[in-house]
Amino acid sequence: MEEKLRTFIALELGQKQVQTLATYTQQLQNKFPSGFRWVKPGHMHLTLKFFGEISPKQLETVSNVLAQVCLNIKPFNLRVEGCGAFPNWRSPRTIWAGLTPVQEVQSLHHQMDEALAQVGFQPEGRRFSPHLTLCRVSDYVDQQLVGELEKAMQTSPIPPMDPWEVKEVVFIKSRLQPGGPVYTPLAKFEFNLKTKV
């Protein structure tokens, strides 16, 4: 039987942005060590599409689609800006950092979703909201702690960061381990550098 792989497509951050977010989230983690599962700095990325488990044949199909879609995309800049909680701060499941501008990411996601739908991968029902997951909130968390975290992030927001240039998408394998997932890049697909303005 074919071994299926748990995979997703993502945009990676610039090195400086990862370092700034790592310092910021470490300070929060020191204040709020329990009730929140903080994302390791090396795992921070913008997820474009999560597949769950797919077969080697589907892996090849997705790779072909990504290579084709990326021919139509030109490099663009992104900046980390703002933060929030999904679905909201009253009952959060995920704490996130925002990205701006989102038009280019939305356009990339739309083109990718349409192309993947043509080869059998159904789009997600919910609206795509580009974000970076900073932590996931445990079911047992004290609601007072959530309020304190929200206040801490409002009074000491994410430091201003320079934008970074996004030039490729990454197809990543995720292996679940007791200590958290292990991410391995399977392939990278460059945008059409010739179309850069």
d(CA 92, CA 85): 6
> What's the whole-model pTM score?
0.90
pLDDT score at 197: 39
Q: Three-class SS of residue 58? A: helix
Q: Is the peptide bond before 123 cis (omega within 30 degrees of 0)?
A: no
Q: Is the dihedral of CA 140, 39, 128, 67 positive or negative?
A: negative
The per-residue pLDDT for range 13-30, each reduced to its tens digit, is 999 999 999 999 999 999
pLDDT score at 176: 86
pLDDT score at 196: 41
Task: Give yes or no for residue 164 having a pLDDT over 60.
Answer: yes
